[in-house]
A = this chain, B = another copy of it.
Amino acid sequence: MVSVLPTRSMQLVCKSTHPALRSASSFATRRAISTVSRRPLNNHFAIARSSKGLQIQRTFTSSSTWRLHTQEMNEEQLSSLKVNQKRLMEDLHHTCQWGTGERWGDAPTETGMSRLALSPADKLARDWFVQTTESLGCKVTIDAMGNIFAIRPGLNNIEPPTYAGSHLDTQPTGGRYDGILGVHAGVEMLKVLNENWVETQYPVGVVNWTNEEGARFPLSMVSSGVWSHSIPLKTAHTLQEIHPGTSTLSTALSHINYLGTVPASHTSTPMAAHFELHIEQGPLLEMANKKIGIVRGVQAYKWLTIKVTGRDSHTGTTDLKSRADALLTASKMLLHSHKVATARNALASTGILNLWPGSTNTVPGVVEFSLDIRAPHDDVVRGMLDTIETDFRKIAAGEDVGGLNTGCTPSLPLDVSITEDFDSPATSFHPRCIAAVSEAAYSALGPDGKNLVMEMTSGAGHDSVYASKRCPTSMIFVPCREGVSHNPREFCKEEDCALGAQVLLQSVLRFDRQRG
């Protein structure tokens, strides 16, 4: 087993603690013999003196005989590469100083996050990501969507890197794990590789995707969408931030100096594979007492906007039968959409609802609301949309649908319009990536592995959906408390974060080995 010593300056220090390396040239020996303030140690490392003592920095100029190569490692050597749980969590909470959200507990880290994409807080987290990965020897590329690609060279740098990726932005009332854990697990992977003097066959990378949440600029996973050529750059750049702001995505990128010159495209920053560690954001792993979700794909979903148009009227003088109450009608639709989802073992949710004119004594004439419908299969989502279109028109017209009107006063008819804003068909991840994740999970979990993993379909969309259109992809889920996410109380145990990061590391290494 490898003994990993956490240090505060770990992100700037490469310490080899691997037995194979210790036998070749131990870190202690190297430090003892090196007193020059900065000089080449070999053609991959230099020693630098700093306030924290001597540091060995990677320079990645060429290969070396004493380097551990993934393709030459046996299963035992591979499995012995371990992430440092304490360092991972310290790093994660360190960056959560930028955009700290609502407090839910007494401990310093028991707060949510409110780090909207491209906000000042997001800029600080991005700066940390760039500085940290550069200090770990990575080449950093920023594209026209502000996606940040940090690449650690391998032996063969002509082929594209194998990536770990996720996002640093959060919902306005989000938590510390959604997206953030995935990026930090990628950075921790770089640190483990560095401190263990591992040279991969091909480059490995960590990517931070911009505005995954779609919470500030209302199109989620927009930047991996542009990268995969699924969303036009112009559409993305002209996204208006949600009320009450006035920025577009491109002006916000410029404002924080993250509008890169490299095209946002898989042809400019290609990927051999994309692995994403993420909290499950649902309760299934926790309920089943499992530790790792091997994600085979992502469920289908559509985002709709429903507009109900009735007539404003006075609440005190308009008898119920003379009303065209847009909010009462919308309430029936909301309740009905839930029943439609229940009947199909699917999901229907409304997260946004606006009404006009908005006065206590005026019956609203117009209501507009979002409707998010999801199911594992495309045909179920399509069927739900058909049902909703038919039934919502009936509800607006005043017809009784499923007993909704029982005990109600018949009212005047209303109009309804339904717009499909976003369609994400069901996604199947790549068998090779799924296999790499499975092997990594069994390696990380040991003999009891089979009882602790669950194959599953992701309920949420992720950047991996778009990545999967252009490269082999899979995801790793870890349980989060009570399945709560998009909430300040979102929580993943430290050991589960580390276990997920360990599976991510092992997945990337195994994929790298198998590229041949």
Given pairs A328-B335, A362-B486, A403-B403, 16 additional interface contacts (CB within 8 A): A173-B365, A281-B317, A282-B314, A303-B360, A312-B488, A313-B484, A315-B347, A315-B351, A315-B374, A318-B459, A328-B350, A331-B331, A351-B358, A352-B355, A352-B360, A353-B355
Query: Which A residues, 104 to 154, have Cβ-Cβ distances below 8 Å to chain B?
Result: none
Chain B residues near A325 (CB-CB < 8 A): 349
Cross-chain contact A359 with B355 (CB below 8 angstroms) = no
CB-CB under 8 A for A353 and B327, given A282-B314, A317-B280, A360-B214: yes
Cross-chain contact A316 with B299 (CB below 8 angstroms) = yes
**Cβ-closest chain B residue relative to A304:** B360
A67 CA to B287 CA in the complex, in Å? 92
A467 CA to B356 CA in the complex, in Å? 31
Chain B residues near A362 (CB-CB < 8 A): 171, 173, 351, 486-487
A319 CB–B CB distance under 8 Å: yes
A172 CB–B CB distance under 8 Å: yes
**Cβ-closest chain B residue relative to A328:** B338
**Cβ-closest chain B residue relative to A369:** B327
Q: Mark A148-178, 1 if CB is under 8 A from B, else 0.
A: 0000000000000000000000011100000
A461 CB–B CB distance under 8 Å: yes
A95 CB–B CB distance under 8 Å: no
Partner pick for A482 among B282, B322, B327, B486, CB 8 A cutoff: B322
Interface stretch (choices A79-87, A404-412, A468-476): A404-412
Query: Which A residues, 363 to 378, have Cβ-Cβ distances below 8 Å to chain B?
Result: 363-365, 370, 372, 374
Cross-chain contact A459 with B314 (CB below 8 angstroms) = yes
**Cβ-closest chain B residue relative to A178:** B314
CB distance from A327 to the nearest CB of B (A): 6
A268 CB–B CB distance under 8 Å: no
Chain B residues near A313 (CB-CB < 8 A): 483-487
CB-CB under 8 A for A320 and B338, given A313-B487, A365-B487, A406-B403: yes
CB-CB under 8 A for A483 and B342, given A372-B360, A403-B403, A460-B361: no
Chain B residues near A214 (CB-CB < 8 A): 359-361
In order of increasing CB-CB distance, the 6 nearest A-B pairs are A282-B317, A317-B459, A281-B317, A315-B349, A316-B460, A339-B407
A232 CB–B CB distance under 8 Å: no
Cross-chain contact A331 with B320 (CB below 8 angstroms) = no
What interface size band does chain A fall in?
Answer: 35 or more
Chain B residues near A488 (CB-CB < 8 A): 312
Cross-chain contact A318 with B351 (CB below 8 angstroms) = no
Cross-chain contact B372 with A342 (CB below 8 angstroms) = no
**Cβ-closest chain B residue relative to A335:** B331
Cross-chain contact B173 with A356 (CB below 8 angstroms) = yes
Chain B residues near A485 (CB-CB < 8 A): 313-314, 317-318
A218 CB–B CB distance under 8 Å: yes
A334 CB–B CB distance under 8 Å: yes
Cross-chain contact A347 with B319 (CB below 8 angstroms) = yes
Query: Which A residues, 180 to 239, have Cβ-Cβ distances below 8 Å to chain B?
Result: 213-215, 218, 220
A357 CB–B CB distance under 8 Å: yes
A-B contact pairs, 14 of them (CB 8 A): A173-B365, A283-B322, A312-B486, A312-B488, A313-B486, A315-B347, A322-B483, A325-B349, A327-B334, A328-B335, A331-B332, A360-B372, A362-B486, A365-B487
CB distance from A338 to the nearest CB of B (A): 6
Cross-chain contact B486 with A374 (CB below 8 angstroms) = no
A311 CB–B CB distance under 8 Å: yes
Chain B residues near A409 (CB-CB < 8 A): 338, 341-342
Chain B residues near A350 (CB-CB < 8 A): 327-328, 364
